[in-house]
Amino acid sequence: METVNPLKPTEPKGRKLSIHVVTWNVASAAPPLDLDNLLQLDNHNLNLDIYIIGLQEMNCGIMSLLSDTAFEDPWSSFFMDVLSPLSFVKVSYVRMQGLLLLVFAKCQHLPFIQILSTKSTPTGLFGYWRLEHFDWILEMQNFEGLDIPNILDHDLIVWFGDMNFRIEDFGLHFVRESVKSQCYSDLWEKDQLSIAKRCDPLLREFQEGPLLFPPTYKFDKNSNNYDTSEKKRKPAWTDRILWRLKRQPHTDSCAPRLPAHHFSLSLRSYVSHMMYTISDHKPVTGTFDLELKPLVSVPLITLMSEGLWTMENDMLISYSLTSDFPSSPWDWIGLYKVGLRHINDYVSYVWVKDNQISCNGLNQVYFSGSDIPETEGQFLLCYYSNSLRSVVGISSPFKIQPRVFLAEDPLGETQPQI
């Protein structure tokens, strides 16, 4: 589960963000060569701001888990390789055996995503989710040290994954013929999630888009054929994306009107991606438009790189901060190549307090020339707040000039050498 502090508005009607949610039971498979359709990279009219990616049944053998502890798992590396050139940065990662949750955000949004917290709730063997765990999981999702600890008090919950709901009563032949003729409405009434929502008031608070795509389970691997094994499992919509908006307190007509809710969520698309065949499940994605009035209108830290950066000179970093910024002795400033994959992808860093210099009332930090990389390219600076557990300021990109030497040629003239 993720909780992200929203941001303070820059204008009365708020800011709109596009969020793309992915759920896929990958059945221990490695990433395919092309995930452009899954990530909507081939949709040039879609300008996404945040990716939330959940995978189930990742390879969780002992050797795989040991390898993933020392290195990035193949799926995380794949998503970072694809998304970092598009200015997306991995801001959160949670791995629980075969489950993986990844959150990516556009680099420009990093200073406004604060106090990231994670909490995992095991639910038995391999963490498989069942309906009887639903209320218990929500009860256990408490975030320590936050003003709103329980997840049910949060403004938005997105619940997605392989929920294992099946289609009741109908036989295999009827279900397959209904799917073949795209008569999905005949199956909706017998969908176990739809049935459960009629009985569980809390589950009923979660919304879902219409199931206008074929059931996403169970397929023969490397094909688009539903299960032809001896078990011949019925097709079912096991892979789902649900969301819940916090209910507004009820007030009578005589009471003062409450301020408008600070955000709204609308579903743009809810689809499956049938072209992927590496698993017995098809992935499902939901694309949302989130309009919100942020809690922070400008970055808490404004970073400026002073002068020309070279590979041989010590440099000064100047920054300004807002009056309410909660500074910490453990704050640091990182130097990154443009196209960073995640917050720990820095080339080098300095502790703010240890390297701070006071000069004419400015906040300045000393950056040793020995910490400046001997590689050319575009770089940027990020200020990381330990108190807020997030990046709170990003500089504009700048270039680091190569080291220049002076050499004398045989004619006695001095020539620069790079």
The span from the CA of 202 to the CA of 219, in Å, is 32
Question: Fold for domain 301-401?
Answer: Immunoglobulin-like (2.60.40)
Choice among 36-45, 294-303, 333-342 with the minimum mean pLDDT: 294-303
Q: What is the mean pLDDT of residues 282-303?
A: 91
Residue with the bigger pLDDT between 396 and 122: it is 396
* pLDDT number for residue 221: 95
Residue with tokens 């199931």: 211
DSSP 150: B
DSSP 300: S
pLDDT in tens, 349-407: 999 999 888 766 678 898 888 888 777 788 999 999 999 999 999 999 988 877 655 55
Residues 379 and 335 sit within 8 Å (Cβ to Cβ): yes
Domain boundaries, the chain: 2-292, 301-401
Q: Which conformational region is residue 302 in: left (phi greater than 0), alpha (psi within -120 to 50 degrees), or beta?
A: beta
The pLDDT-based confidence of 127 (bands split at 50, 70, 90) is: very low
Burial class (CB in 10 A: 0-12, 13-18, 19+), 128: middle
b/e string for 189-222 if b means 16 or more Cβ within 10 A?
eebbbbeebeeeeebebbebbebebbbbbbbeee
Q: Which residues contact 148 (CB under 8 A, 6 or more apart)?
A: 154
Q: What is the mean pLDDT of residues 45-72?
A: 78
Helices H / strands E in the chain, number of each:
7, 22
The span from the CA of 176 to the CA of 236, in Å, is 10
Hey, what amino acid is at 173? H
* pLDDT number for residue 69: 55
The span from the CA of 198 to the CA of 200, in Å, is 6
249 pLDDT above the threshold of 60: no
* pLDDT number for residue 63: 54
pLDDT > 90 in the chain, percent: 56
CATH number of 2-292: 3.60.10.10
b/e string for 104-115 if b means 16 or more Cβ within 10 A?
bbbbebbbbbbb
* pLDDT number for residue 255: 42
Choice among 61-65, 149-153, 206-210, 379-383 with the minimum mean pLDDT: 61-65
Counting Cα atoms < 13 Å in the Cβ hemisphere of 108 gives: 4
What's the whole-model pTM score?
0.86
Best-predicted range by mean pLDDT among 114-123, 265-274, 364-373, 402-411? 265-274
**DSSP for 88-149?**
EEEEEEEEETTEEEEEEEEGGGGGG-EEEEE-----SGGG---GGGHHHHHHH-B-TTSSS-
* pLDDT number for residue 401: 77
The span from the CA of 236 to the CA of 226, in Å, is 10
- The residue among 4, 82, 24, 383 whose CA lies nearest residue 239 is 24
Residues 251 and 258 sit within 8 Å (Cβ to Cβ): yes
pLDDT in tens, 146-185: 677 778 888 899 999 999 999 999 999 999 999 999 999 9
* pLDDT number for residue 259: 41
The span from the CA of 143 to the CA of 186, in Å, is 41
What angle is formed at CA 225 by the lines to CA 223 and CA 231, rounded to 5 degrees?
A: 115
The pLDDT-based confidence of 248 (bands split at 50, 70, 90) is: low
Measured from the Cβ of residue 21, the count of other Cβ atoms closer than 10 Å reads 19
340 pLDDT above the threshold of 50: yes
The span from the CA of 370 to the CA of 258, in Å, is 57
* pLDDT number for residue 297: 81
* pLDDT number for residue 407: 56
Length of the chain: 418
Measured from the Cβ of residue 350, the count of other Cβ atoms closer than 10 Å reads 18
**DSSP for 343-403?**
TT--SEEEETTTTEEEETTEEEEEE-GGGS-S--SEEEEEEEETTTTEEEEEPPPEEEEPP
87 pLDDT above the threshold of 50: yes
The span from the CA of 6 to the CA of 113, in Å, is 7
70 pLDDT above the threshold of 80: no
7 pLDDT above the threshold of 50: no
Maximum Cα–Cα distance for the chain, whole Å?
95
* pLDDT number for residue 120: 76
* pLDDT number for residue 39: 97
